[in-house]
């Protein structure tokens, strides 16, 4: 509005001077130059009132709306109680916390937790991204840091709030270790200004400002920013466990019509390693699949297919030849047979339908979330990874390039065995041991596991051939059907 008023006044002045007989060309040139300069300065953030963040007075997100992060929520709520019940804690001589850093993988709900914090404390909420504070012009980032804190004070005063929450996503962009950008001191100046603001030189006893940052790379952040008095608490927002995934699924299916056959606990078990964002996407994709089939309700089959969609991508239009299709069937059957033999109930789904970059795949469903790996577990995973190529070689006479990713996975697992001290080398310093010795030990581990895998596939040859026939006819086998075949090899499963 101010810009329009200034332009109108300049035009009125030019008109007045023109009627008075003056040459208005120089005035018009100066006016145009002034407007252009104003716009450029505004875009570069060099004007006092420019701020790149977004102010949200009432985020509306509550902690109850966030599933799967019980430890993080408890820790954050305890920190926020210092703001919410300031007088109570002041009696004990406890100062309010100045900053909370949320760390963890993408999609785990760090932004949602920050919004819930603002709702919990009835605070003004201002959000920004770390990249908004960095420009090639010296001093711009520092000015924006001052601006966002001043904006928080102004918004709180305007709305008569006693507190404000400033949330900066990807804070490692502006809070990186000083000196790491030797040719660009703008980063260091921006961080220095943030440190000054968090120290509270311009404190207001009537207003509390809490800075919440989110990052996937806490190791990149400067130590001065992580010390007590700045980020007082570092909260790990990790991937949800099976109970957390079940809570998240319930939240995101609460507004969706579900069939009676839907068992969210099964979906939670089959989605180990999924983040909250991926689980939300799963529920959404399941609804889309139901809509495509013109169903009124979302069924278990829609949610299971949505798992594959989130993990692998949409079904591809690839049309393998008859020979390639047969090879893929043997490959995936080998994976599934060895997996189910080593760990019962571990196979959820086998298919030769192309999805994303995969021509086929076998999806595992762990009985429980696993966080510690034994030598036996790692060796089992190597056998499963090699089983596809071994099955191809036994029944088709050769391996194929489709096993490339399996081989990479097997090598990674073998390296993990060596690094954990499970190999013949014992406990070693991975940096001091020679690459040739590591390569030799990896070869020994893989050769031993491949021999055992070959024996297992030979033993289950009859079942594997039946799996290939079913995949050739129907393109998929459910884990339950595979287990029925293993328990009763003579069972007629042609209609599975």
- Evaluate whether 491 touches 484 at the Cβ level (below 8 Å): yes
- Topology adopted by domain 242-312: Helicase, Ruva Protein; domain 3 (1.10.8)
Separation between Cα atoms, residue 457 and residue 447, nearest integer Å = 15
Which residues make Cβ contacts (< 8 Å) with residue 411, sequence separation at least 6?
Answer: 442, 446
Burial class of residue 121 in the structure, from the number of CB atoms within 10 Å of its CB (0-12 exposed, 13-18 middle, 19+ buried): buried
What 8-state DSSP symbol labels residue 401? Answer: G
- The pLDDT value recorded for residue 139 is 60
Nearest alpha carbon to residue 217 among 180, 242, 264: 180
Separation between Cα atoms, residue 419 and residue 430, nearest integer Å = 7
Greater confidence, 53 or 255? 255
In Å, how far are 26, 193, 326 from 22, measured between CA atoms? 10, 49, 90
In Å, how far are 411, 423, 434, 436 from 440, measured between CA atoms? 12, 11, 10, 6
Active centre residues (catalytic): 332
Confidence of residue 337 (pLDDT cuts 50, 70, 90): very high
The side-by-side arrangement of strands in the sheet containing 347-351 is: 361-364, 347-351, 476-478
Nearest alpha carbon to residue 434 among 455, 420, 450, 418: 418
Question: Residue 458 in 3-state DSSP?
Answer: helix
CATH of the structural domain 322-487, one choice from 3.30.70.360, 3.60.110.10, 1.10.10.10, 1.20.58.760: 1.20.58.760
- The pLDDT value recorded for residue 16 is 66
- The pLDDT of 262-284, averaged and rounded, is 91
Total residues belonging to the chain: 496
* Residue 392 exposure: Cα atoms within 13 Å on the Cβ side: 22
- The pLDDT of 477-481, averaged and rounded, is 87
Highest-scoring range by mean pLDDT, 75-84, 403-412, 424-433: 403-412
CATH of the structural domain 54-236, one choice from 3.40.50.300, 3.40.50.1100, 3.30.70.380, 3.30.360.10: 3.40.50.300
Q: What is the pLDDT of residues 177-187, one digit of tens each?
A: 776 655 456 56
Separation between Cα atoms, residue 367 and residue 344, nearest integer Å = 9
- The pLDDT value recorded for residue 209 is 85
Residue-wise burial string across 26-64, b where 16 or more C-beta atoms lie within 10 A, e elsewhere = eebeebeeeeeeeeeeeeebeeeeebebebbeebebebe
Q: What is the pLDDT of residues 448-461, one digit of tens each?
A: 999 999 999 999 89
Greater confidence, 359 or 23? 359
The single residue listed with the structure tokens 């990249």 is 131
Global pTM?
0.73
- The pLDDT value recorded for residue 395 is 93
Greater confidence, 5 or 465? 465
- The pLDDT of 418-437, averaged and rounded, is 88
What 8-state DSSP symbol labels residue 345? Answer: T
The DSSP line for 33-95 is HHHHHHHHHHHTT-STT---SEEES-----GGG--S-HHHHHHHHHHHHHHHTHHHHHHTTPP
Separation between Cα atoms, residue 361 and residue 254, nearest integer Å = 31
Lowest mean pLDDT across 214-228, 273-287, 312-326? 312-326
Lowest mean pLDDT across 137-151, 232-246, 365-379, 424-438? 137-151
Separation between Cα atoms, residue 95 and residue 270, nearest integer Å = 45
For the chain, give every domain's residue range. Answer: 2-43, 54-236, 242-312, 322-487
Highest-scoring range by mean pLDDT, 197-211, 343-357, 375-389, 420-434: 375-389
Separation between Cα atoms, residue 325 and residue 477, nearest integer Å = 15
Q: Which helix (H) or strand (E) holds 151?
A: helix 140-159
User: How many Cβ atoms are within 10 Å of 321's Cβ, its own excluded?
Assistant: 8
Q: What is the pLDDT of residues 91-144, one digit of tens each?
A: 777 777 788 999 988 888 888 898 888 888 888 888 888 877 776 555 677 788
Helix, strand, coil percent values for the chain (each to nearest 5): 55, 10, 35
Which residues make Cβ contacts (< 8 Å) with residue 152, sequence separation at least 6?
Answer: 124, 126, 164, 166, 209
């Amino acid at each position: 509005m101010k810009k329009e008023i200034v332009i109108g006044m300049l035009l009125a002045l030019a008109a007045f001077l023109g009627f008075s007989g003056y040459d208005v060309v120089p005035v018009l040139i100066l006016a145009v130059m002034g407007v252009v300069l104003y716009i450029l300065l505004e875009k570069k953030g060099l004007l006092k009132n420019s701020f790149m963040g977004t102010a949200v007075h009432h985020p509306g997100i509550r902690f109850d709306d966030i599933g799967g992060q019980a430890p993080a929520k408890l820790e954050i709520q305890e920190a926020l109680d210092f703001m919410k019940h300031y007088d109570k804690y002041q009696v004990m001589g406890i100062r309010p916390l100045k900053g909370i850093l949320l760390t963890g993988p993408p999609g785990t709900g760090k932004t949602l937790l920050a919004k819930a914090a603002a709702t919990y404390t009835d605070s003004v909420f201002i959000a920004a991204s770390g990249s908004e504070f960095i420009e090639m012009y010296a001093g711009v980032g520092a000015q924006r840091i001052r601006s966002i804190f001043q904006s928080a004070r102004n918004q709180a005063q305007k709305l008569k709030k006693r507190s404000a929450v400033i949330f900066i996503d990807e804070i490692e962009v502006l809070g990186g270790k000083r000196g790491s950008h030797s040719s660009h001191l703008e980063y260091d100046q921006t961080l220095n200004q943030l440190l000054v603001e968090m120290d509270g030189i311009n404190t207001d006893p009537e207003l509390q400002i809490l800075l919440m940052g989110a990052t996937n790379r806490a190791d990149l952040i400067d130590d001065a920013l992580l010390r007590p008095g700045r980020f007082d608490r570092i909260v790990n927002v990790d991937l949800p466990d099976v109970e957390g995934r079940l809570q998240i699924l319930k939240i995101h299916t609460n507004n969706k019509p579900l069939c009676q056959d839907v068992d969210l606990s099964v979906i939670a078990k089959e989605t180990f390693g999924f983040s909250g964002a991926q689980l939300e996407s799963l529920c959404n994709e399941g609804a889309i699949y139901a809509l495509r089939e013109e169903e009124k309700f979302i069924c278990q089959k829609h949610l299971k297919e949505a798992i594959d969609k989130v993990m692998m991508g949409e079904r591809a239009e690839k049309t393998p030849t008859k020979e390639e299709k047969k090879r893929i069937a043997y490959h995936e059957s080998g994976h599934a047979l060895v997996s189910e033999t080593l760990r019962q109930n571990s196979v959820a789904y086998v298919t030769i339908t192309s999805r994303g970059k995969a021509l086929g795949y076998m999806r595992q469903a762990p009985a429980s979330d696993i966080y510690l790996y034994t030598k036996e577990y790692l060796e089992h995973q190597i056998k499963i990874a090699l089983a596809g190529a071994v099955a191809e070689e036994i029944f088709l006479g050769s391996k194929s390039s489709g096993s490339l990713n399996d081989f990479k996975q097997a090598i990674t697992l073998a390296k993990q065995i060596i690094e954990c001290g499970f190999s013949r080398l014992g406990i070693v310093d991975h940096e001091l041991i020679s690459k040739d010795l590591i390569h030799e030990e990896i070869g020994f581990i893989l050769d031993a596991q491949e021999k055992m895998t070959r024996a297992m596939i030979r033993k289950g040859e009859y079942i594997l051939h039946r799996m290939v026939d079913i995949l050739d006819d129907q393109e998929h086998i459910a884990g339950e059907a595979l287990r029925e075949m293993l328990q009763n090899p003579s069972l007629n499963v042609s209609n599975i």
